[in-house]
Amino acid sequence: MEKIVSLCKRRGFIFQSSEIYGGLNGVWDYGPLGTELKNNLKQYWWQVMVRERDDVVGLDGAILTHPAVLKASGHVDTFTDPMVDCRTCKARLRADQLAEKNGARQCPNCGGKDLTEARPFNLMFQTQMGASADPASIAYLRPETAQSIFVQFKNVLDVSRKKLPFGIAQIGKAFRNEINPRNFTFRSREFEQMELEYFCRPEQGMDLLAYWLKERIRFYEEIGISRKRLHVLDVPEKERAFYSKGTFDIEYEFPFGRQELEGVAYRTDYDLQQHIKASGKPLDYFDEETKERFVPHVVEPSAGVDRTVLALICDAYDEDSAPDEKGKMETRIVIRFHPRMAPIKCAIFPLLRNKEALVAKAREVQALLRPHMNVFYDEGGAIGRRYRRQDEIGTPFGVTIDFETLGEKGEGLRDTVTLRDRDSMKQERVAIKDLPQLIPSKIR
Ligand code: GAP
């Protein structure tokens, strides 16, 4: 993990938030490459979960949430973790994460055994709307994106005129005042979710749970996460939410242990029923064919953007060896991102920075490729060093403009370049005019 955290900072994937002021615990900023990676992940999720389907539409709900919504959903009363204080070092700890020594609970911070009894701690961030400070002005930062989907169910149904089964998808920020944020971005206080609420008839629930589990595993494979590091936990009944008839956790083998990436849960009609009761508004569905009116059930695949980004980096991180400028073998850090996820798809290198014709040609190639993908132009340092810099951030392709490109080694090679593959380090000679089709064909 140390190597990954250090690479993330050094190369601009992820920075500690407010770092120059000592950092804000459990909050992270994504740097230039992290932002690209995160956007690629979210766009691909949206592509396969919404755009490629007839049965799913999108929503972009507000973060500030009416307290009545979260009262009805159960968050105000029960969205808590058991918390304990250490009287010795004053650390605030999650009761279920305490170490035990000789049968006694121990503070992981100072080793002290003088701990308070566990008490519930609500994980929601509360804020004030408007100038007055009375209780009626309380609002919450949403702890999950799901609730705005349930609350807007009827509006979306009316405008989209979808028939069951159909889903509403959303990507957005969620906030939880985690007692113990840890493992880099894995448990953060501000994070992003990609959630689908897939509404169905009650008798379809269990089959759709199995269907979505399969779809979601396929998604992780398609973004390049190795199947052997993915695990499915069939959550036992006593550990599931009381309203869930089945929940699977998709887990990933992080360097710090096997942990949840996504939950796929059959939530029955619990959420819609709660909002019907609390708001008094009908959130039901009328089946034109059977003439039945009923409250739909829901299957929810709920994934974390930040956890998936972390899994992508952990899974792709590798070290092998490659020759340096003098042909001596050295350790190479290479991030083997699936090209679909890579922040930069292709780097463009003029062989020498002080040869005007090489630089001009390289700029031409950059302009040619830019409309098709995210490219990066680099003319600084020996070519081997430039390759290494790109390997370390997972750029799958590199194009080098050399003297052959200029026609100096025969007319047959004019306007051709070398295309280097990050993983095999092999180079092939290709015509510049073919690059806009060739590289995207290797990305998809
Ligand atoms: N609507 C259901 C729901 O929110 P959850 O299991 O609490 O379920 C879903 O959260 C996903 O959101 C998790 O699988 C995880 O990927 C992500 N997530 C939850 N809490 C997180 C945190 N503190 N930091 C980062 N990601 C988190």
Which pLDDT tens digit goes with each residue over 223-254? 999 999 999 999 999 999 999 999 999 999 99
pLDDT at 108: 86
Pairing, β 80-85 against β 119-122:
antiparallel
Q: Which two tokens stand for residue 378?
A: 């680099």
pLDDT of 415 strictly over 80: yes
323: preceding bond cis by omega (within 30 degrees) = no
* Ligand 1, atom 2, residue with closest C-alpha: 302
pLDDT band per the 50, 70, 90 thresholds, residue 103:
confident
pLDDT at 322: 84
3-state secondary structure of 264: strand
Q: pLDDT digits over 388-404, tens only?
A: 999 999 999 999 999 99
Q: Which two tokens stand for residue 325?
A: 């400028």
Strand spans (E) along 7-115: 14-16, 28-30, 56-58, 64-65, 80-85, 92-94, 99-101, 104-106
Mean pLDDT of the chain: 95
pLDDT of 261 strictly over 90: yes
Whether residue 207 contacts residue 277, with contact meaning beta carbons closer than 8 Å, is answered with no
d(CA 366, CA 363): 5
Cα angle 40, 43, 47 (rounded to 5 degrees) comes to 135
* Ligand 1, atom 17, residue with closest C-alpha: 304
Ligand 1 pocket, 149 CB below 6 A?
Answer: no
Q: Which two tokens stand for residue 388?
A: 């290494």
Ligand 1: residue of 65, 171, 178, 193 to mutate (most ligand atoms within 8 A of CB) is 193
pLDDT at 325: 75
Ligand 1 pocket, 307 CB below 6 A?
Answer: yes
Q: pLDDT digits over 19-50, tens only?
A: 999 999 999 999 999 999 999 999 999 999 99
Q: Which two tokens stand for residue 253?
A: 């083998």
d(CA 408, CA 297): 69
Q: Taking the CA of residue 396 as centre, how many other CA atoms within 13 Å lie in the half-sphere pointing to its CB?
A: 19
pLDDT of 92 strictly over 90: no
Q: Give residue 121 CA to ligand 1 midpoint distance, Å.
A: 17
Ligand 1 pocket, 190 CB below 6 A?
Answer: no
User: How much of the chain, in percent, has pLDDT values that exceed 70?
Assistant: 100
Q: What value does the mean pLDDT take over residues 177-192? A: 95
Pairing, β 297-304 against β 292-294:
unpaired
pLDDT at 241: 93
d(CA 3, CA 330): 17
pLDDT at 328: 86
| Minimum-distance ligand 1 atom for the alpha carbon of 265 | 2
Q: pLDDT digits over 312-327, tens only?
A: 999 999 999 888 777 8
